[in-house]
Chains A and B, each alone.
Chain A
Amino acid sequence: MTNLTDLTVAEIRDGFRAGDFTAREVAEGFNANVAAAKALNAFIVETPDHALAAADAADKARGEGTLLPLSGVPIGMKDLFCTAGVQTTAASHMLEGFKPTYESTVSGKLWAAGAGMLGKLNLDQFAMGSSNETSYFGNVISPWKRGGGDNAALAPGGSSGGSASAISARLCPAATGTDTGGSIRQPAAFVGISGIKPTYGRCSRWGVVAFASSLDQAGPMARTIRDNAILLESMAGFDPKDSTSLDLPVPQWEAGLSSDLRGKKVGIPKEYRVDGMPAEIDALWEKGIALLKDAGAEVVEVSLPHTKYALPTYYIIAPAEASSNLARYDGVRYGLRDLPDGANLQDMYAATRAAGFGPEVKRRIMIGTYVLSAGFYDAYYTQAQKVRTLIARDFAKAFESCDLLLTPTAPSAAFALGEKQADPLAMYLNDVFTVPASLAGLPAMSVPGGLDAQGLPLGLQIIGKALDEQGVLNAGLAIEERAGFSARPDKWW
């Protein structure tokens, strides 16, 4: 009999509808996998009862002929989305024990579409990190190992590392992620799955713990392009509660899937050929170019002249917005309070924030506070916002001569836990290929391209014009069909 936890979202949905199995069988299978995978530390909270309740509702709906788009499909929820009555921590001590009295728009839409929740997935604290080593609840471990008997624990990427690890290990068929500078795409690449960051404003930010509001976007992560399209249709849509939500209809991305790229032009940005790029990443990129050509696309070279300034721009804007957003954690309304003996209100704020935030979060708040402080605001923050305009213009100009861009997702395969932790700057450089599209608000996804010499997955990134998720998904599908990526980690957990 088919192992139900090996199925994709589409296979679960369709097999359940056809009566091949019950939703309860699916939920029980994934609940068992979650319970048996503590070694990966992918979940902060497990919610088997939520998954079972949704499954029972789905089984009942099937009997009554009232099926919903995601009936029978259990998913993982990144612990950055507020879930009513279920602890929501952003992987921080600050929010340990916080049980929202409301539901985020995106998670609410998924439940309304019939999905069930297997649990809340671990992440980098407040989504700040690229390796899932900043979580207060411990590192997430990638299910992948290097070949040749190397037993080093590898990073699943970040910040959506729990989502990546859990999907790759078949603890859930799909999960939500959020992406501020690459937090969906880089972890997807590290574990050999797909993930899409839609156009800024497609998915509501309401009820998502804020990091950098002009960059934060929710999106799905799953093993196939089709599954990403299915999930995104249920997550996207106008929300009057988010002032930057786009008031546009949600396209039928799944129905629109086509891997025929004839007539499409794919741009290769020459500035992404960075110094010291490993030969394997370059080879992967060439392979991606060949696959897209095979699908009928024409490949052209394009220029994004301000690429080298994207990372420093990001590391001014994101910390600046974070320092402002995270000012809300004051020990008064929710979350941790640290009140030393005899402390006044100001002392309480400072003690609470010292105890509640981890080192990377403090570092970013302090950078943000510095670049926004009197006398430095124009030199850093205003300058960064101007360079951001130039970066967005680069993309607009490139899209005059092409429809999509193809790049590697990350400059390396997954690294070992601890390998880059000593130097914050080295960690930041991991986002070199993902940050530019975030700064311009463009849809971008990572799709598996192959394995490196050590047997670890490598991802290709497709960047599209604003609102052209369909074009991005279709190019992803063309790569998926041709790359034939079927590798999965050997079970050791």
Chain B
Amino acid sequence: MAIDLQTVKKIASLARISVTDAEADALVPELNNIIGWVEQLGEVDVTGVEPMTAVIPNTLRLRDDVVTDGDVRDKVLANAPQAEHGFFAVPKVIE
């Protein structure tokens, strides 16, 4: 399927990246080239093949359900663009 301008704008919106009209125009052929190229995978017969989930066999470990960290609020906030009263601050969400 070809990617048109409207699709580019929708992808950008889903990815939360604002794009100008000029940027979106430029992305149409670029993304079409790349997607058109990866579409060759459709010709591979994958009947009965399971999608890979782990390259090296490994079991997911469980650990004891106990608190292992905490009490590091200031460290967590240290790189925040805006922190107030011990919280991350963001623009008003509720009108």
A interface list, Cβ under 8 A from B? 98-102, 199-201, 214, 240, 243-244, 246-247, 306, 309, 312-313, 315-316, 323, 327, 330-337, 339, 343-351, 353-354, 357, 362-363, 365-367, 369-371, 373, 379-380, 382-390, 392, 424-425, 428, 439-441, 466
B2 at the interface (CB under 8 A from A): no
The CA-CA distance from A379 to B27 in the complex, in Å, is 21
- Mark contacts of B35-65 with chain A using CB atoms, 8 A cut-off: 1 yes-contact digit, 0 otherwise: 1011111101010011111111010110100
Contacts of A380 in B (CB 8 A): 38, 41
Most-contacted residue by chain A among B46, B54, B72, B92 (CB, 10 A): B46
User: What is the distance, in angstroms, from A306's C-beta to the closest C-beta of chain B?
Assistant: 7
Task: List, sorted by A's number, 13 A–B pairs whose CB atoms are closer than 8 Å.
Answer: A100-B79, A101-B78, A316-B41, A345-B90, A362-B15, A366-B8, A367-B34, A370-B11, A370-B35, A384-B38, A390-B49, A392-B55, A424-B34
Establish whether residues B44 and A387, one from each chain, have CB atoms under 8 Å apart when the complex forms.
Answer: yes
Contacts of A345 in B (CB 8 A): 90-91, 93
Q: Given known contacts A350-B18, A354-B17, is B90 in contact with A244 (CB within 8 Å)?
A: no
Residues of B within 8 A of A (CB-CB), count = 51
Query: Chain B interface mostly helix, strand, loop or mixed?
Result: loop
Closest to B49 in A: A386
Beyond A370-B7, A385-B52, A389-B51, 15 additional pairs, beta carbon < 8 A: A101-B72, A306-B44, A332-B81, A343-B91, A353-B15, A353-B18, A354-B19, A362-B15, A366-B15, A369-B14, A373-B14, A383-B46, A384-B41, A425-B34, A425-B37
User: What is the distance, in angstroms, from B68's C-beta to the closest C-beta of chain A?
Assistant: 10
Establish whether residues A350 and B11, one from each chain, have CB atoms under 8 Å apart when the complex forms.
Answer: no
Establish whether residues A344 and B15, one from each chain, have CB atoms under 8 Å apart when the complex forms.
Answer: no
Contacts of B30 in A (CB 8 A): 363, 424
The CA-CA distance from A440 to B55 in the complex, in Å, is 6
Q: Given known contacts A316-B41, A390-B49, A392-B52, is B58 in contact with A246 (CB within 8 Å)?
A: yes
User: What is the distance, in angstroms, from B13's C-beta to the closest C-beta of chain A?
Assistant: 8
Contacts of B6 in A (CB 8 A): none
Contacts of B35 in A (CB 8 A): 367, 370-371
Closest to B20 in A: A354
Contacts of A312 in B (CB 8 A): 37-41
